[in-house]
């Protein structure tokens, strides 16, 4: 079976894409991998098909998403008023609570068969965080983790001034992943006032442009992040 390990990963930049459209897109890829794994169980080892891996980058129009373990009370604006801020809302099948996606934020959806890499969800989450931590280091921003909380934080060693710059929320089944991370680059942070981000009331949210006090080249940030993820996971990027 080891001979079938496939670290080749197709990287796609979907641009600015409607949330539902992106959700459907990654769900179809996710299900195609799961289906192969289910079929392989009924076959001899010599007949097993390899599974593919995908790394999707995109941005979304203004949208709030609530994870399956989240509480709707953390959406602080009435649903009927969302149109007034040009936003939409989805209750989705990832872990975690509520978050915001919008233009200027890099969203990454790794659709991976972790059996091609390693079978450890904790390691998977930490490597996603590490890719952002290493990206921020390229901009001379020291970031890290806070015990008990997922995501990436600036000023993480100071409980009172810690600021979240990247949120994580994933779904896995049969070691296949979907959903992923949202990294605030030129994000319109005022939209976070309409939610209690990730259900955490006592922590602020920040972005790369806020920390550096200037608009950032999101293409450059994306390129660095892709490089860090590729190296950390040992991916072989293919077109």
Q: Which residues are catalytic?
A: 198
197-231 as b/e, with b when 16 or more CB fall inside 10 Å?
bbbbeebbbbbbbbbeeeebebeebbebbbebbbe
- How many Cβ atoms from other residues are within 10 Å of residue 68's Cβ? 13
Instruction: State phi, psi for 93 to the nearest 5 degrees.
Output: -105, 25
Closest CA to 33 of 114, 93, 124: 114
Residues 95 and 233: their CA atoms lie apart, in Å, by 22
Residues 139 and 188: their CA atoms lie apart, in Å, by 20
């Amino acid at each position: 079976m080891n001979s079938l390990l496939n670290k080749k990963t197709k990287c796609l930049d979907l641009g600015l894409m409607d949330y539902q459209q992106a959700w459907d897109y990654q769900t179809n890829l996710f299900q195609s991998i799961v289906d192969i794994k289910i079929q392989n169980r009924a076959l001899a080892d010599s007949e097993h098909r390899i599974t593919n891996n995908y790394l999707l980058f995109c941005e979304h129009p203004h949208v709030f998403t609530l994870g399956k373990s989240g509480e709707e009370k953390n959406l602080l604006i009435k649903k009927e008023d969302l149109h007034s801020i040009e936003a939409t809302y989805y209750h989705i099948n990832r872990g975690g609570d509520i978050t915001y996606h919008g233009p200027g934020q890099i969203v990454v959806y790794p659709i991976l068969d972790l059996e091609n890499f390693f079978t450890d969800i904790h390691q998977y989450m930490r490597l996603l965080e590490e890719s952002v931590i290493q990206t921020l280091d390229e901009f001379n921003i020291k970031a890290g983790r806070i015990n008990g909380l997922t995501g990436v934080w600036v000023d993480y060693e100071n409980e009172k001034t810690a600021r979240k710059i990247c949120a994580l929320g994933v779904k896995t089944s049969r070691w296949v992943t979907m959903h992923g991370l949202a990294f605030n680059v030129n994000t319109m942070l005022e939209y976070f006032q309409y939610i209690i981000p990730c259900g955490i009331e006592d922590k602020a949210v920040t972005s790369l442009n806020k920390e550096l006090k200037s608009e950032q080249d999101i293409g450059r940030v994306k390129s660095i992040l892709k490089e860090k993820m590729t190296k950390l996971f040992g991916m072989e990027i293919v077109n």
